[in-house]
Every structure is written in structure tokens, then in C-alpha cells.
Amino acid sequence: MSDVRAAHRIAVLASVDIVAAVIPEDLRRPTPCAGWNLADLLAHMTVQHRGFAAAARGRGADLGVWQPAAVADAVAADPPGTYAAAAADVVEAFAADGVLDATFMLPELGPGAAFPGALAIGFHFVDYVVHGWDVARTVGLPFQPRADVVAAALPLALAVPDGVARAALGGAFGTALAATDAASDLDRILSHLGRSPGWAPPASR
């Protein structure tokens, strides 16, 4: 695995910019993640930042740090502020010396699941390219990550297993959809991770 931390940081900070536009009334809006409204999605995104930050610091085995309920009230009270603080935490944790070679415990992926830091950071990177798009579509904002960021995320996204393996991801990704030959790299990522690039919320904001 190459070091994707520079692209990861750009993707996470882009998601912070999108979430900064969220207002409390948006939290009930449906999202591209089937069965999740925006409150559910932001709680997932926030706690994943916290969980991956803990994993980078050697504390990821504690399932308690991965529970969306632990951040749900804070997200509801202040979506942009709560999310931005968690994003800053994970960016700081991933910048530490030796993190690429550290062992990340990711218990959501199975009992005792452990991955090299470089690979685990790749997992997180793909999440925030996609989830940035999820939030933007939910609230009707444009979202076009830098071409180099999308290019770095594409092979990692296409390596995510399809089928029943998606169940382990807690609903964040759906079953892969077919992409057209003319699809952009971002659309290929979205389709592989279960999104229709043309998705729009059922009502305007």
C-alpha cells in the first residue's frame, strides 16, 4: 500500500466543508445510504473518525469507540462542530510517526480484525470520498473532489468486496451497481459502492 494520507486529508477536509452547510432541519432528510437519514449518516461518519483515530493510537479494539449512539446527541445538537472536531482528530492521528506500519484493530469487520495502518487508512479514505458525496447530494450541494484524489481512491474502492461481505460494513455501502462505459472515475466509485450517481433526495431542501 502506498501512503494516501495527503489525498485522505483533502477528502476529509472536503467533507468538513460540506457538513458545515448542514442545519438541524436537514437531519431528517433521506440519504443515498438506504435506511439512513442524515442524522444516522453523520453519526456514522463522526464515530468512524473517532474509531479510526483510536485505532491509530492503539485503542481500536474497544467496541465502545465505534458506537454511533455515543455521538448521536452531539451530532443532533451541533452537526458541523461535532463533525469537524472528529475529522480533525482523525487527521491528527493519521499524521503521527509510524502510523503506516502500526496495527489497526477494526472490530467492526470481525472479531480480532487487524490491518496494517497503510491499508486501514486506505479504507477510511474511500469512505470519505463517498460519504462527502452522500452528504452533498442529501442537501443539494455540488461535490467534485480533485481529480488526483479520485484517481487515488478508485483502485481502493474497486477492491472492496461485493455481495454478502457488504453486510459487515454496517449499511454504509450497498451492493455494487453496473457503471456505464462513459462513467467518470467518481461515478465508478459510487456505483461499485452501491450508489446511483444520479441519486437525488425526494424533495428539495
Residue 205 lies in a domain: no
- Residue 197 pLDDT level (bands cut at 50, 70, 90): very high
CATH of residue 86's domain is 1.20.120.450
Task: Count CB neighbours of 199 within 10 A.
Answer: 14
Q: Are 193 and 160 in contact (CB under 8 A)?
A: yes
DSSP assignment of 19-62? HTT--GGGGGSB-SSTT-BHHHHHHHHHHHHHHHHHHHTT-TT-
Residue 134 lies in a domain: yes
pLDDT in tens, 129-186: 999 999 999 999 999 999 999 999 999 999 988 766 555 555 578 788 888 888 999 9
- Taking 90 as the threshold, does the pLDDT of residue 84 lie above it? yes
Structural domains counted in the chain: 1
Residue 165's pLDDT is what?
A: 59
Identify which of 172, 171, 168 has the alpha carbon closest to the alpha carbon of residue 127: 172
State the Cα–Cα distance between residues 144 and 57, nearest whole angstrom: 31
Residue 203's pLDDT is what?
A: 84
Residue 135's pLDDT is what?
A: 98
Q: Which domain holds residue 74?
A: 5-192
Residue 59 lies in a domain: yes
pTM: 0.93
Residue 197 lies in a domain: no
pLDDT in tens, 1-43: 789 999 999 999 999 999 999 999 999 999 999 889 999 999 9
Residue 112's pLDDT is what?
A: 92
Q: What is the CA radius of gyration of the chain?
A: 16
